[in-house]
Chain A
Amino acid sequence: MFPDNQTSQRTGYQQRQLSDRSIQWLFITPTLILLALFNIFPLFYSLYLSFTDFSAIGTAAPVWVGFKNFSTLLNDPQIWKYFATTGRFAFLSVGLQTVLGFALAMLLREKFRGSGLITTLILIPMMLSPVVVGFFWKSIFNPSSGIFNYALGYFHPASAPGPSWLDSSSRALWAVVIVDVWMWTPFVMLLCLSGLNAIPDYLYEAAAIDRASAWFQFWRITLPQVLPLLMIAVLFRTIEAFKSFDLVMGMTGGGPGDSTELVAVNLFRIAFEGQWRTSYASALAYIVLVIIMAISNVYIRNLNKVRGEG
């Protein structure tokens, strides 16, 4: 009995030694180490590299050059052209996703037979790999064998065989926007739908008693209630649009010319693809990061304002 008793006392003592805070640290430490190794360290190291002349496949060590990379980048009209293309893509793509996503959410708000299945089917595009989506939409846009122009010709026979989408500098960006909208509208819809479902019914009941019109209810109840979630969706999609890479590479490779050359695509070319200008690419990545942070800041300020009013 004695040894058993002693063991149980020791175990109890040891258990008491592991305080709640120690257990917290025990669980948090591995995450912190991983975070430091794979997030914080690369973040600061790439910041350091952006002030140097360095190639990851070169044999020389980084050489400090100060702000030279940033100055060269910011004075390069070509880079601003890529930013302009990215901005255009983000504006068109996120704008259309917001309108269509919200509209779809409104349609699916009312439960009907099969609405669950339809919602699930609508969500499928955003579950696919962007590269795969890029490749199969490339086939869909093929002017001689793709279904896209076939469908256009069916509904509008006068336009047959239809335009070449990916081989035209004026249409290629639109083609990428169409695919991005197809892929990510469900994401906006999903967030809007959860916002719509969270609106309490009594608001509409009160409005109905006051004989408020459907339009008035939409402007004064539905939209303000959904707006915070809608803005979060827009924020996420804008950030993603600025980072868009795989879809464009799968569909156009940035061409024809520079018509679909987004910043992330160009960043890839500078960082890899034979160039391996690691420090220059790091500087560009930081410029992109600052721009995304600035945009996010504007969104978040407005979001807080909306929430405050809500």
Chain B
Amino acid sequence: MKKRVILAWLVVLSLLLVACGGGAAAPAEPTTAPAADTPAASTEVTSTTATTSTAPTTETTTTTATSSSGGGQAAVSTGDVKELKILWAQWDPADYLQEIGKKYEEETGIKVTVVQEPWPSFYNRAFTEFAAKGDSWDLVVGDSQWLGQGSSQGIYVDLTDFLKSNGIDKTVTPATLQYYGEYPLGSGKYWAYPTEGDADGWAYRKDWFENPEEQKAFKEKYGYDLAVPKTWKELLDIAKFFTRPDKNMYGAAIYTQKEGDAITMGYENVMFSYGARWQDPKTNEVKGIVNSKESIAALEFYKELYTCCNPPGLGNAFFQETNDAFVKGQAAMAMNYFAFFPALATDATNPHAAVTGYFANPAGPTGERKAALGGQGMSIISFISPERQQAAMDFIKWFAQEENQQEWADVGGYTCNINVLKSPEFLEIAPYNAAFAETMTMVMDFWNIPVYAQLLTPTQSELSGYIVGGEGKADEVLNRLADTHDKILRENGIIK
């Protein structure tokens, strides 16, 4: 009996030893933002120098190109790659990409499979696979926030030379290339191709705005015409004007959710337009910036908009809740990502679809217009073979062509291609496309460094506490937040 007990404990201890041993002496992974001149991905894969717009053939091709890490010349073959797997979140745009993939297969014989993962587990699935250096997928359409981790941990292939040598960098709007692809910001190093552009915009009730009686009453009260707001101040006036609790009417349904990044994104729409930023772009300093007078004014504005005009019960609201309030006829205006506007543009899901209009974020006090970024960029995973990396580059090159971007937009994708965004076909294909095209030139984003989530958590708490919970004053909240950000950034070597 005693021997068996000892044996059982030995088994347990050996399990522990196996689990704990082996890795303790390994060096820690870098968590700081890499220097701009340091390529993180160790790949030797090369990119094609050809600028032809024809699709790559299925035959084994050898392309000679500049190494993606800026090195010498190398010959890389796509080998016998027959399939490309792309990981993305489970939503309509992923289905659209699958449609585009069928066209690619018809042209090249290479099958494209879009692997879809539900949003809540998307990040976890991707990064647990990356941690294991898995090669289940060739490409990932990842969030802009993933860029820091993807590039500094060697997960993404450096696409700088590939995008530049093929002229792809010039085909998309500069703002989308910067925020979906560049890391560190301002470094000129790119890790993703802007694939699904997205940002916050507004849906509004055209029938309410265009009602002659409402227009007359508004003009009498505010002294100017009731129309799509040109400034945040006008938006607040309109929101207040349409807030009539006795009729269950409210001015604006906005983001307030503490989970994820909702309330931060909502606040960013105002904050960036007010000229406020999260950091000094050169030094990454945050004190005096997170809590600048512009930030304080923007936060006070957002709180006022929430307090005066948000439908009751929407103190923890994100895209679903703001759309719901709009569909229920509760809100004159609803903030949301453009990706969720298709649901408002169809009678099947919105009884007011015929009278729903859309507009881009209005301007702040100095005329600056900005919008919080959504959407994703397409990156190549460095753990796959050089042949598969080459095949993935060929796909991006093909996908980035204007005719394919036009088709991407036709099936419902949100392109970032400059020419397609300007084309009359695109602007007319959906009622929100004009506002979307306008927004794609003014997007800005939260931090995208590896520790962005550590910065986001206190940001969400502080903003939710002040805006929804009514705790403290704007300056106190932002001072505290600046201190917290500063501490996290210093601990992780982002601020020296």
Measured between beta carbons, the chain B residues less than 8 angstroms from A164 are 312-313, 315
- A261 lies within 8 A of B23 (CB): no
Distance in Å: Cβ of B284 to nearest Cβ of chain A: 19
One of B106-114, B127-135, B184-192, B286-294 contacting the partner: B127-135
Measured between beta carbons, the chain B residues less than 8 angstroms from A62 are 23-24
Least CB separation from B451: chain A residue: A275
Measured between beta carbons, the chain A residues less than 8 angstroms from B154 are 59
Q: Does A120 contact B (CB under 8 A)?
A: no
Q: Does B465 contact A (CB under 8 A)?
A: yes
User: Contacts A60-B27, A274-B456 known; A44 to B16 CB distance under 8 Å?
Assistant: yes
- Binary contact readout B298-317 vs A (1 if CB under 8 angstroms, 0 otherwise): 00000000000001111110
One of B167-175, B266-274, B468-476 contacting the partner: B468-476
* Docked complex Cα distance between A57 and B312 (Å): 39
- A142 lies within 8 A of B313 (CB): yes
Number of chain A residues whose Cβ lies closer than 8 Å to a Cβ of chain B: 55
* Docked complex Cα distance between A41 and B14 (Å): 10
Measured between beta carbons, the chain B residues less than 8 angstroms from A167 are 312-316, 468-469
- B469 lies within 8 A of A255 (CB): yes
Q: Does B8 contact A (CB under 8 A)?
A: yes
Q: Does A63 contact B (CB under 8 A)?
A: yes
Q: Does B425 contact A (CB under 8 A)?
A: no
- A57 lies within 8 A of B468 (CB): no
Least CB separation from A139: chain B residue: B313
- A61 lies within 8 A of B15 (CB): no
- A257 lies within 8 A of B248 (CB): no
Q: Does B452 contact A (CB under 8 A)?
A: yes
Measured between beta carbons, the chain B residues less than 8 angstroms from A274 are 123, 145, 452-453, 456
Least CB separation from A141: chain B residue: B313
Q: Does A169 contact B (CB under 8 A)?
A: yes
Least CB separation from A171: chain B residue: B469
Q: Does B161 contact A (CB under 8 A)?
A: no
Among B20, B27, B154: residue with most chain A CB under 10 A: B20
- A61 lies within 8 A of B22 (CB): yes
- Binary contact readout A259-282 vs B (1 if CB under 8 angstroms, 0 otherwise): 101000000010011111100000
- B464 lies within 8 A of A60 (CB): no
Measured between beta carbons, the chain A residues less than 8 angstroms from B311 are 144
Q: Does A69 contact B (CB under 8 A)?
A: no
Least CB separation from A172: chain B residue: B469
- B153 lies within 8 A of A59 (CB): yes
* Docked complex Cα distance between A264 and B24 (Å): 28
Measured between beta carbons, the chain B residues less than 8 angstroms from A240 are none
Q: Does A146 contact B (CB under 8 A)?
A: yes
- Binary contact readout B307-345 vs A (1 if CB under 8 angstroms, 0 otherwise): 000011111100000000000000000000000000000
- B465 lies within 8 A of A256 (CB): yes
- B12 lies within 8 A of A256 (CB): no
* Docked complex Cα distance between A58 and B23 (Å): 13
Please tell me which one of the listed residues A57, A138, A253, A273 contacts residue B127 in the complex, with CB atoms under 8 A apart.
A57
Q: Does B138 contact A (CB under 8 A)?
A: no
- Binary contact readout B65-94 vs A (1 if CB under 8 angstroms, 0 otherwise): 000000000000000000000000000000
Q: Does B457 contact A (CB under 8 A)?
A: yes
Distance in Å: Cβ of B197 to nearest Cβ of chain A: 22
User: Contacts A56-B131, A59-B29, A257-B462 known; A145 to B313 CB distance under 8 Å?
Assistant: yes
Q: Does B11 contact A (CB under 8 A)?
A: yes
Least CB separation from A32: chain B residue: B8
- Binary contact readout B456-489 vs A (1 if CB under 8 angstroms, 0 otherwise): 1110011011111111000000000000000000
* Docked complex Cα distance between A274 and B130 (Å): 14
Distance in Å: Cβ of B89 to nearest Cβ of chain A: 14
* Docked complex Cα distance between A174 and B322 (Å): 26
Q: Does B389 contact A (CB under 8 A)?
A: no
Please tell me which one of the listed residues A52, A56, A161, A273 contacts residue B453 in the complex, with CB atoms under 8 A apart.
A273
Q: Does B454 contact A (CB under 8 A)?
A: yes
Q: Does A291 contact B (CB under 8 A)?
A: no
Please tell me which one of the listed residues B1, B11, B457 contacts residue A269 in the complex, with CB atoms under 8 A apart.
B457
**Chain A 47-75 interface residues, beta-carbon cutoff 8 Å to B:** 48, 52-53, 55-64
Q: Does A21 contact B (CB under 8 A)?
A: yes
Least CB separation from B126: chain A residue: A57
- A144 lies within 8 A of B468 (CB): no
- A59 lies within 8 A of B20 (CB): no
Q: Does B259 contact A (CB under 8 A)?
A: yes
Q: Does B26 contact A (CB under 8 A)?
A: yes
- B258 lies within 8 A of A254 (CB): yes
Q: Does A219 contact B (CB under 8 A)?
A: no
Q: Does B257 contact A (CB under 8 A)?
A: yes
* Docked complex Cα distance between A58 and B152 (Å): 11
Q: List 19 A-B contacts (CB under 8 A).
A: A25-B4, A48-B16, A53-B28, A60-B29, A61-B22, A62-B24, A63-B26, A78-B458, A143-B312, A167-B312, A252-B258, A253-B257, A255-B316, A255-B464, A255-B465, A255-B468, A256-B465, A257-B466, A274-B456
Task: Known A-B contacts: A57-B128, A259-B465, A275-B453. Give 10 more (CB < 8 A).
Answer: A37-B15, A58-B29, A63-B27, A172-B469, A252-B258, A254-B258, A256-B464, A257-B469, A273-B453, A276-B127
* Chain A residues near B (Cβ < 8 Å): 21, 25, 32-33, 36-37, 40-41, 44-45, 48, 52-53, 55-64, 78, 138, 141-146, 161, 164, 166-169, 172, 249, 252-259, 261, 269, 272-277
**10 closest A-B pairs (Cβ-Cβ)?**
A257-B465, A61-B23, A167-B315, A274-B453, A256-B469, A169-B469, A255-B258, A60-B29, A61-B26, A256-B468
